[in-house]
Amino acid sequence: MTENSLKAQFRTVFDRAPSWRVNAPSRINLIGEHIDYCGGRVLPMAIQGGTTVVSAENDSDMIRVYTERFSDRVSLKIRPDHSPGFYGDWRDYVAGVVSCLSRSESRVVGHDLYVTQSAGTAGLSTSASFCLALAKSLSPKSSEVELARICQQVEHEFARVQCGIMDQMSIALGGVIYLDCQALRWQVASSDLDDVVVVVMDTGKARTLAGSAYNERVSELHQVAQSFGAENIDNLVSAPATDFLPPHLAKRFRHVTTEHRRVAQAFEAIQSRDWSTLGRLMTASHESLRDDYEVSCRELDCMVELALKQDGVLGARMTGGGFGGCAIALAERLSVSQWMPVVAAAYQQQTGIVPDLFEAEPAPGLSRQSC
């Protein structure tokens, strides 16, 4: 939607003109899945799409939000103690952002906000993008790291998902980053992918088990940490190898440690433009997520297998929490137009689901400008 269209929609809903526009991208994770919440390093990439908010202060103590995606609105008083899960839908995220910002050092005043999002593609951090766009609109002077922490807390408390901070940091900072989730230090990786491109492959499979299974994996890693005498999982990626874990916990731990090593190797591959090595590491990551961490599903595996059979595809893997959502492929740029329709047709034939495949390019992070 164009800026003029957004302004017109805002005026229709709130009967006045907006003052500010905030953009928050989507994100994919090139490699480093399910290790951000245990102190790992990850390689996310912010991509086009995401969330746009146009807003204006309203001289009250109310936050009024209209979302185009659901053709719905909510009005909330600015206070720190909204009840988690009260609404059971997107409005809980608004309540979470308002509550968590109110508890912070941020000074929040009444706002009217009109929200539009790109098509909700599961596994591309739609909720993180939504929360960060709201938070930036309400607290523009807060740093990117502060906003990322606040929006992670929203996920923990109001969505009941014990996620790491990768999604929020990736969206806040933009581009391709090599992020240490324990120390919250990062390096900017090259955003110039030269002759290769990342293709996002939306399976069309809803992530119906993602929330509960995600928390189950976190719980399993806490069991692993306890076996080492540790109180938490924040530095589990550097724990020593062991052979005394039960088989299912040994598999979870093996994914965490091997994935952490793959991320370091992938960063080196990007910096040296070794795309074949990056592709190989991405495929190995998917195999580990499928076999050891057990967060893939038939549709994701089918999509990855079909992509890997195509000329020009260097590697493929699921991205996001798993159990549906998206996979990604790293491919030679000139090959993409030839194999994307082939994979889409074969996937539909095998699953009965119409997929959505598109090329993704690195995008800027969270931004705010006057309307």
Bridge partners of 359, per DSSP, are 199
Q: How far apart are CA 178 and CA 275, in angstroms?
A: 16
> Residue 53 in 3-state DSSP?
strand
**Separation CA 353–CA 214 (nearest Å):** 24
Could you please report the per-residue DSSP string of 82-119? PPTTSSSSTHHHHHHHHHHHHHSS-----EEEEEEES-
CB-based contact 127:75 (threshold 8 Å): no
- For 2, 136, 153, 319, 363, the CA distances from 330, given in Å and listed in that order, are 31, 32, 32, 12, 17
Q: Which of 36, 112, 167, 202 is catalytic?
A: 167
**Nearest-angstrom CA–CA distance, 18 and 8:** 9
* Buried residues in 265-275 as b, exposed as e (16+ CB within 10 A): ebbebbeeeeb
Secondary structure of 109-130 as H, E, C letters: CCEEEEEEECCCCCCCCHHHHH
DSSP state of 63: E
Judge whether 356 counts as a catalytic residue: no
Q: Give the active site residues.
A: 167
